[in-house]
Chain A
Amino acid sequence: ETGVTQTPRHLVMGMTNKKSLKCEQHLGHNAMYWYKQSAKKPLELMFVYSLEERVENNSVPSRFSPECPNSSHLFLHLHTLQPEDSALYLCASSPGQGAYEQYFGPGTRLTVT
Chain B
Amino acid sequence: GESVGLHLPTLSVQEGDNSIINCAYSNSASDYFIWYKQESGKGPQFIIDIRSNMDKRQGQRVTVLLNKTVKHLSLQIAATQPGDSAVYFCADRGTGRRALTFGSGTRLQVQP
B31-42 interface mask toward A, CB cutoff 8 Å, 1 = contact, 0 = none? 010101000011
Chain B 16-38 per-residue mask, 1 if CB under 8 angstroms from chain A, else 0: 00000000000000001010100
Whose C-beta in chain A lies nearest to the C-beta of B2? Answer: A88
Interface contact B6-A56, CB-CB below 8 Å = no
Q: Is the interface of B mostly helix, strand, loop or mixed?
A: loop
Taking a contact as CB atoms under 8 Å apart, the answer to whether A104 and B93 are in contact is no
Contacts of A1 in B (CB 8 A): 42-43
Are A90 and B104 interface neighbours, CB within 8 A? no
* Known contacts A37-B1, A40-B5; is-contact A99 B100 (Cβ 8 Å): yes
Q: How many A-B residue pairs have CB under 8 A?
A: 68
Is the beta-carbon distance between A104 and B45 smaller than 8 angstroms?
yes
Cβ of A88: which chain B residues have Cβ within 8 Å of it? 1
Report if A90-B43 is in contact (Cβ < 8 Å); known contacts: A100-B32, A100-B49: yes
| Count of residues in A whose CB is under 8 Å from the partner chain | 30
Q: Which residues of B are in contact with A by a Cβ distance under 8 Å?
A: 1, 3-6, 32, 34, 36, 41-46, 49, 89, 91, 93, 97-100, 102-105
Interface pairs A-B: 5 shortest CB-CB: A39-B5, A104-B43, A43-B102, A42-B104, A104-B44
24 contacts between A and B (CB under 8 A): A1-B43, A39-B5, A40-B6, A41-B6, A42-B102, A42-B105, A43-B44, A45-B99, A48-B99, A56-B98, A88-B1, A90-B1, A90-B43, A90-B44, A99-B98, A100-B32, A100-B34, A101-B49, A104-B36, A104-B44, A105-B43, A106-B1, A106-B42, A107-B1
